[in-house]
Amino acid sequence: MPAYAVIGAQWGDEGKGKIIDFLAENAAIIARYSGGNNAGHTVINDAGTFKLHLVPSGICWPHTMNVIGNGVVVDPDILLKEINENNLDPSRLAVSDRAHLIMPYHITLDNLEEERRGDAKLGTTGRGVGPAYVDKVSRQGLRVGELLDPEDLALRLPDIIAFKNEIITKIYGGKPIELEEVFEKTKLWATELAPYIQPVENQIAEALENDGKVIVEGAQGALLDLDHGTYPFVTSSNPTVGGTLTGLGMGPRSYGGVGGVFKAYCTRVGAGPFPTEIHGAEGDAIREQAGEFGVTTGRARRIGWFDAVAGRYSARVNGFDAMIITKLDILDGWDEIKVCVAYEIDGVRTEQFPVDAAMLDRAKPIYEIHPGWTESTRSITEESQLNDGARAYIRRLEELVGVKTKILSTGPRREETLVLEDFLA
């Protein structure tokens, strides 16, 4: 049985958690491949409301295994909190021995660097994600599997902490990290996490060999991708489809489908260009109505119209063969709905998403105006219940992005979902 990827197609917060929870009923494994607890996934079903940062969104199905792959950076304090809050045991959750650890000094450095940048800050989530990936790339990182060898850690940590403290105190003027505190933490993490630490690529390969469906869970979104996003206003990993292969250790032929999750409009958190941003009272009203505040940081999300230029680009760099559209019901009752079909940059019309963030910042959106609809799409689950206005809007987005819509989300709860075509077929 193949794997299916569910990838954020915009700037994150597209509602991937809800979609994963919905699809997980038919999955053997749900696997996270990138990012860390900078992500925030909300799942609402009969069992309650779950706000997850690290643990995959398949945990509400008792038969589904949840896997945190090597491409993820793991803050064990957060992982243990989520394990305890959700009564997870190793039969339901595994974390790769090759995933890198977010250490306390990474969190300190993330926040000190943002402070140093002042007005030019990126608006990171402050969870230590960037500095943890820096250490991974510079081959100075610690991996989850290394927790299982405390004697070796005891030998290595003094040097690591001394070096980080030089940077923290001498470059940033910050408060040093206490070696003893960090070492004690690693011992606790080792004891509590040991049963969950596994070479998870084997579990994924075996599930695929045994006809199990593997759903690959995205975090953040394509436009925050370190390579393909609006650099430097990006996260430090690859949320795009390429990241799924390196972040889980699986091959491209495993895939039966790659779905892009798009909000019916756009949002962005943190700094960076956002051509379709709606400023002022109109944006504020949508934010309040849609509850667009970050699950991780509580920050107000910036609101914008659907950007089909960015959407088409995102579909290309990910090879989407399905569009999954969320929050459609938020558009109910609007007089008119704008969709950005092209940009004007320095007086020239273009339908290409520019590589350069400064150029994207100068992009003026060229809009197409769609009539709104008065009927409610909230909670609808049948295609026949979809009103003509909403149907036309969806069809137009498909046409502009160049990908077929297979799932529509019509509310935050699991059952508020309209399947137009089976994504897992």
**Residues assigned a catalytic role:** 13, 41
Question: Contact at 8 Å (CB) between 228 and 240?
Answer: yes
Give the CA dihedral 244, 250, 254, 256, nearest 10 degrees.
Answer: -20
Number of residues that bind ligand IMP (CB under 6 A): 20
Binder to ligand IMP among 10, 66, 203, 235 (CB under 6 A)? 235
From first CA to last CA, the distance across the chain in angstroms is: 10
Q: Among residues 20 and 341, whose Cβ is nearest to ligand IMP?
A: 20
Q: Is 257 in the site for ligand IMP (CB under 6 A)?
A: no
Instruction: List the interface residues with ligand IMP, window 32-71 (CB under 6 A).
Output: 38-40
The minimum distance between CB 404 and ligand IMP, in angstroms, equals 26
Q: Is 224 in the site for ligand IMP (CB under 6 A)?
A: yes
Q: Is 129 in the site for ligand IMP (CB under 6 A)?
A: yes
Peptide bond into 232 cis (omega under 30): yes
**Single-letter code of the amino acid located at 82:** E
Binder to ligand IMP among 42, 57, 203, 236 (CB under 6 A)? 236
Interatomic CA distance for residues 220 and 416, integer angstroms: 23
Binder to ligand IMP among 71, 247, 270, 283 (CB under 6 A)? 270
Interatomic CA distance for residues 101 and 143, integer angstroms: 5
Report the SS3 class of residue 173: coil
The minimum distance between CB 220 and ligand IMP, in angstroms, equals 5
Environment class of residue 362 by beta-carbon count within 10 Å: exposed (0-12), middle (13-18) or buried (19+)? Answer: middle
Q: Is 240 in the site for ligand IMP (CB under 6 A)?
A: no
Comparing CA positions, the residue from 26, 32, 22, 35 lying closest to residue 2 is: 26
Q: Among residues 235 and 318, whose Cβ is nearest to ligand IMP?
A: 235
Closest-CB residue for ligand IMP? 270
The minimum distance between CB 236 and ligand IMP, in angstroms, equals 6
The minimum distance between CB 35 and ligand IMP, in angstroms, equals 6
The minimum distance between CB 344 and ligand IMP, in angstroms, equals 25
Comparing CA positions, the residue from 61, 36, 50 lying closest to residue 86 is: 50
Q: Is 130 in the site for ligand IMP (CB under 6 A)?
A: yes
Binder to ligand IMP among 122, 205, 419, 424 (CB under 6 A)? 122
The minimum distance between CB 294 and ligand IMP, in angstroms, equals 7
Q: Which residue has the tokens 């495993």?
A: 254
Q: Among residues 38 and 240, whose Cβ is nearest to ligand IMP?
A: 38
In the 8-state DSSP scheme, what is residue 75?
Answer: -
**Single-letter code of the amino acid located at 159:** D
In the 8-state DSSP scheme, what is residue 238?
Answer: -
Stretch that binds ligand IMP, among 11-19, 20-28, 256-264, 405-413 (CB under 6 A): 11-19
Interatomic CA distance for residues 128 and 105, integer angstroms: 8
Interatomic CA distance for residues 130 and 339, integer angstroms: 33
Residues that bind ligand IMP (CB under 6 A): 11-13, 38-40, 122-125, 127, 129-130, 219-220, 224, 235-236, 269-270
